[in-house]
Structure 1
Amino acid sequence: MTDRTANPDHAEPRPDEPPVLALRGVRQVFDTPRGDVPAVAGVDLEVRRGQVLCLVGESGCGKTTTARMAAALAGPTSGSVLFRGRDVAEMDRKERAAFRHSVQYIHQDPYASLNPVRTVLSTVSAGLRRHGAVRGRREARRAVTELLERVDLTPAEDYLDKYPHQMSGGQRQRVAVARALAMNPEVIIADESTSMLDVSIRVSLLNTLGRLRDELGVGFLFITHDLAVAKYFAWRGEIAVMYLGRVVEHGPTPQVVNDPQHPYTRALVSAVCEPDPDLAGTRERVRLRSDDIPDLTALPPGCDFHPRCPSYVQGSCDTERPPLVRSHDRLLACHVLTRG
C-alpha cells in the first residue's frame, strides 16, 4: 500500500485550492403517489482537502439524500456533482473509476453495512484485490493489518479473522472506516456514522477520524443531526444547516455555533443539552410558533420555515422564498436578517 503520510499531495491545503468535491444547485425530487417530494431543493456545497463540512438538520431534511448524490449513489434530478471540477455525470469509465477510488462512503448502521458472512480481512481487502493493489493473501493480510492499526483496532491480528457478529458496534464502524481508507480517498462522506454508538465510543471514533483528517489530508462531508457532534468534529471547519431540503445558514463552525443567526439554527442550538446547571439556567430558549414540520408535498408559500419562525414578518416571510446570500461572515436565507 502507498504510505499517504509521505505523499506531498496530502500537504496542508492552500487557501486558493479548488474543492475536491462540489455540489452545484443539486435537486432531488421523488415521484410518489401523494405527489412530487422535493427532498433536496437546490443545494451548493464544497468539500476541500483536509477540511470538514458538517451538514446539520432534523431527520428528514434531506441530509442523506444530499450525501448519496455527492457520492454518486443517486443521480440528481437537476444540478451537478463536480469532482475536481469535472461533472460526475459526464465522466468516462476511467474518470468514474478515479472518482470511486477518491470518494468513499461510511454508512450510519455498522450492523447492516458489513457483510455478515465475510471476515474483517475479506471485507477490508475486497477493494484492494478488486483493483490489483495487493497480490496474494499474505500481502492482503499485511495491508489490512496496517489499515486496522490506523483506525485503532489493535492488536490487528485479533480482528482479521473475526466476523461482524463477533464485534461491538464501535469496532464494526472502525472496520467500515478501514474499508474506506483502503482506497486512499480524498473525501470521506460519513452519514450519521456515530449516531448509533454509545457516547464514549462516539468521541473515540470522532478522535480517530480527526486524526486521519490531519495525518492524511482527507476531506470530510459529515452528516449529523447533532450540533454538539458537529461542533466537536468540525470546529476548524464549516457547518451548513439544512431545513426541508435547503441550506438556511452556512459558515465557519465557531461563528455558527456560538453566534447562530437564522431562527432555525438558533432553535437547534438552544435544544442542545447543557450539562452545566448554572449555564443551563441562563441560556436563551427559542420558542417556535409551531412544532409541526410542513409536509413536503404541500410546502407553504414564501419561506419554508415561516409557519414555525419566531421572527416571522407578515407580508414578507409568507410571500417570497428567501435566497441564500452572503451576510457578513456567513451565508443566510432569511428576509428579516438580510434585508434589515
Structure 2
Amino acid sequence: MSPAPEGRGPVDRRTEPSVLSLRGARQVFSTPRGDVPAVAGVDLDVRPGQVLCLVGESGCGKTTTARMAAGLAEPTGGEVLYRGTALRALGKQERAGFRRAVQYIHQDPYASLNPVRTVHSTLTAGLRRHGLAKGRDQARRAAIDLLERVDLTPAEDHLDKYPHQLSGGQRQRVAVARALAMDPEVIIADESTSMLDVSIRVSLLNTLGALRDDLGVGFCFITHDLAVAKYFAWDGEIAVMYLGKVVEQGPTPDVVNDPRHPYTRALVSAVCEPDPDLARTKERVRLRSADIPDLTDLPSGCDFHPRCPLYEQGRCDTERPPLVETGGRRLLACHVVDGPG
C-alpha cells in the first residue's frame, strides 16, 4: 500500500477509560437451516477521540457488531457496556443518556433519512425530543450551526430541502449533522462512505476526522476497504473480522504495513495500489479457496483454514486458535503465525 500519511503517527489512547465496550458479545440468529453465529464473542473498546475500524468481507459480522454496540440489537451472549455499566442495567434516565451519547450513521443516506421531512425537520427532531432547543428560532439556529459544522454551506440554502433534492454526499452530510445534534461521545459509522464517489468520500472523511479531533468524538468505523481504514484510522486501531470473530487487532500502521494473520495479508494484497512501482513489487496472497464457509456448517479448528495458504494439517484443522496478545499492542488468532513478523 502507499506510504503512510505525512505528519501523523499512532497515538496511544488505550490508557483512557472506554466510553463504549463489548465483552464477549455474541449474536446468534435462528434460521430454518440452523443457528447462525453472526458474532461469536467479540471484545472491543471505543475511547474518546479514538477511531476503531472494523474491517472484513461482507457477511463477517461487522454491522451486527455495530448494531449491538449501538443498542439496536440485544446480544444473545456477553455484554455491551456504556462507561463500564451494562446496557441492560441502565435505568430509564441513563438509557436516554446512552441514546444521546452513541449515534449511528447508516450506509445508505437516502434510506436513513425520512423522505417527507425537510433537512430542518430532520436535524431539529432530536433537539426537540430531548429538550435541547427551546423554540423555533433556537432550533433553526442550531440546525444552521450543524450544517456549517459538516461543511454544507450556505446552510440556509439547504434547510428547507427534502432528501431527494440533495446529492448523495449532501445527504450523508445531513446524516452526520443529525448525529452531531445530540452532542455524541461516540459515532458508529457503518460503511458511511461506501456509496459515495471517491472525491466526495475523501471530503467526508476529512470532515469526520476534523470532528474527531475538534470535538473528541470516538468512532467505531466500519468498512470493507482497507485503504479507507488506513486513511481515516491512521492514529487509531484496526480490528479485522472473519466469520464473526476478530482474528487480528492492533494500531493501524502496524496492521496495514505488517499484517500477520494470513487473512489480513490477503485483504492488504487485494487493495489496489496506485503507484506502478509498488504495484509491481507488492506481495500477492493466493488463497487455497475463494469460497467462504457456511456459518451454519463451520469447519473444525480455525475457521480460515480451508482458505489459508499457511494451513498445517493436524494443527489448523483440529483446534480453534484463541485471540492472544503477541506484543506491541497486537492481538492475533493464528496457530502458524504467533509472533512478530
Do they fold alike, i.e. is TM over 0.5? Answer: yes
**Equivalents in 2 of 1:131, 1:217: separation in Å?**
22
Alignment of 1:36 onto 2:35: yes
Partner SS, residue 109 of structure 2: coil
**Equivalents in 2 of 1:46, 1:164: separation in Å?**
34
Instruction: Describe how 1:168-187 pairs up with structure 2 within 5 A.
Output: 168-187=167-186
Partner SS, residue 25 of structure 1: strand
1:7 alignment partner in structure 2 = none
How far residue 162 of structure 1 moved from its aligned partner, in angstroms, is 0.4
1:205 alignment partner in structure 2 = 204
For structure 2, which runs of at least 5 residues remain unmatched after alignment?
A: 1-10
Instruction: Describe how 1:156-305 pairs up with structure 2 within 5 A.
Output: 156-305=155-304
Instruction: Describe how 1:296-315 pairs up with structure 2 within 5 A.
Output: 296-315=295-314
* Deviation sequence 1:271-316 (CA, Å, 0-9, x none): 0000111211111000000000000000000000000000101111
- Counterpart of 1:77, as a letter, is T
Return 63-72 or 275-284, whichever deviates more. Answer: 275-284
**Equivalents in 2 of 1:15, 1:216: separation in Å?**
18
Instruction: Describe how 1:114-125 pairs up with structure 2 within 5 A.
Output: 114-125=113-124
1:3 alignment partner in structure 2 = none
**Equivalents in 1 of 2:263, 2:13: separation in Å?**
33
2:3 alignment partner in structure 1 = none
**Equivalents in 1 of 2:281, 2:15: separation in Å?**
41
- Counterpart of 1:336, as a letter, is V
Does the CA contact (< 8 Å) of 1:127 and 1:182 recur in 2? yes
- Counterpart of 1:247, as a letter, is V
**Equivalents in 2 of 1:337, 1:198: separation in Å?**
37
Aligned length: 329
**Equivalents in 1 of 2:289, 2:282: separation in Å?**
21
2:95 alignment partner in structure 1 = 96
How far residue 16 of structure 1 moved from its aligned partner, in angstroms, is 2.6
| Change in CA separation of 1:297 and 1:276 when aligned onto 2, cut-off 3 Å | same
- Counterpart of 1:242, as a letter, is M
For structure 1, which runs of at least 5 residues remain unmatched after alignment?
A: 1-11
How far residue 196 of structure 1 moved from its aligned partner, in angstroms, is 0.3
How far residue 13 of structure 1 moved from its aligned partner, in angstroms, is 9.5
- Counterpart of 1:184, as a letter, is D
* Deviation sequence 1:65-118 (CA, Å, 0-9, x none): 000000000000000000000000111101100100100000000110000000
* Deviation sequence 1:203-246 (CA, Å, 0-9, x none): 00000000000000000000000000000000000000000000
Partner SS, residue 29 of structure 1: strand
Does the CA contact (< 8 Å) of 1:250 and 1:332 recur in 2? yes
How far residue 14 of structure 1 moved from its aligned partner, in angstroms, is 6.5
Does the CA contact (< 8 Å) of 1:115 and 1:123 recur in 2? yes
Partner SS, residue 28 of structure 1: strand
Partner SS, residue 335 of structure 1: coil
| Change in CA separation of 1:162 and 1:308 when aligned onto 2, cut-off 3 Å | same
**Equivalents in 1 of 2:84, 2:131: separation in Å?**
27
1:333 alignment partner in structure 2 = 333
**Equivalents in 2 of 1:181, 1:314: separation in Å?**
51
Does the CA contact (< 8 Å) of 2:13 and 2:50 recur in 1? no
**Equivalents in 2 of 1:75, 1:134: separation in Å?**
31
Does the CA contact (< 8 Å) of 1:13 and 1:50 recur in 2? no
How far residue 339 of structure 1 moved from its aligned partner, in angstroms, is 7.7
- Counterpart of 1:338, as a letter, is D
- Counterpart of 2:286, as a letter, is R
| Change in CA separation of 1:317 and 1:241 when aligned onto 2, cut-off 3 Å | same
Does the CA contact (< 8 Å) of 2:113 and 2:175 recur in 1? yes
1:106 alignment partner in structure 2 = 105
Does the CA contact (< 8 Å) of 1:13 and 1:49 recur in 2? no
Partner SS, residue 251 of structure 1: strand
- Counterpart of 2:332, as a letter, is L
| Change in CA separation of 1:170 and 1:189 when aligned onto 2, cut-off 3 Å | same
| Change in CA separation of 1:14 and 1:197 when aligned onto 2, cut-off 3 Å | closer
* Deviation sequence 1:144-186 (CA, Å, 0-9, x none): 0000000000110000000000000000000000000000000
**Equivalents in 2 of 1:251, 1:291: separation in Å?**
26
**Equivalents in 1 of 2:171, 2:13: separation in Å?**
35
1:56 alignment partner in structure 2 = 55
Partner SS, residue 213 of structure 1: helix
**Equivalents in 2 of 1:110, 1:306: separation in Å?**
37
**Equivalents in 1 of 2:210, 2:278: separation in Å?**
31
* Deviation sequence 1:110-141 (CA, Å, 0-9, x none): 11000000000000000000111111211111
- Counterpart of 1:334, as a letter, is C
* Deviation sequence 1:29-49 (CA, Å, 0-9, x none): 000000000000000000000
| Change in CA separation of 1:289 and 1:140 when aligned onto 2, cut-off 3 Å | same
- Counterpart of 1:110, as a letter, is P
2:319 alignment partner in structure 1 = 320
**Equivalents in 2 of 1:13, 1:21: separation in Å?**
17
